[in-house]
Amino acid sequence: MDPHLVCIGGEDHRLRIPFLLSLRKKGFRLTAISSDDVTAFSRHGIPHHRIEFDRFAIGGAQLRSVRGLMAETRPDIIQSFDTKPNLLTPSAVRGQVPVVRTINGLGWTFSLLEPQALALRPVFCSLQWLASLWTAATVFQNRNDRAFFEHWWLTRKGTARLIVATFC
C-alpha cells in the first residue's frame, strides 16, 4: 500500500524536501502544496501545486483554494506546516481526511507588540481552536508552544505530540 500524503506549507516549504524524500523512501506517495517555487520540488520528482497565502487575510477564497486542491489531489493523509495552512487545511477538509498540523512557532502575532498583532491574538486563538476540531494530531516543534496550546485548549485532549528535532 502506498498512502498518498499531501504536505501543505508556506513560502519556505522547499526546506522540507529532505523530510518529504525520507517519507517517500518509507513508501508514501507525495504531493506538495505551497506558496514556494515549484522548481526545487520538480528537481526531486515531487508533484507540487502552487497556492498563494495572503498573510493578512483569511477568507473564503483561500479556503476554497485549499478545498479544491484537496479534492484534486485526493490525499489519504495531510500534513500542514505554518500558520495559514494549519488554519485553512483542517477547516477545508472538515474531518474527511486525517490532518496532522505542525506548529513551528506562533509567528509575528505573538512576537510583536504592535497594535495589529495584539488585536489578532484572540482571532488566532479562536481559529486555532476551530481548526483543532478537525485535526487528527498536532505536532509541536517546541515545548513552549505546546504548553500555550494546551493551556488555552487550542488542541484536542490527547492529540498533541512534541517532536524536538535537531538540524545540522
Instruction: Pick the more confident residue, 38 or 55.
Output: 38
pLDDT score, position 52: 87
Give me Rg for the CA atoms of the chain.
Answer: 15
Question: What gap in Å lies between CA 49 and CA 33, rounded to an integer?
Answer: 5
pLDDT score, position 119: 92
Is a pLDDT exceeding 90 seen at residue 56?
A: no
Is a pLDDT exceeding 60 seen at residue 32?
A: yes
Question: What gap in Å lies between CA 34 and CA 88, rounded to an integer?
Answer: 13
Give the alpha-carbon dihedral of 105, 130, 78, 60, to 10 degrees: -100
- Record the cell numbers describing residue 77, joined without a space: 493523509
Query: Which among 82-91, 101-110, 157-166 has the top mean pLDDT?
Result: 82-91
Single pTM value for the model = 0.89
- Specify the residue for cell string 516543534: 141
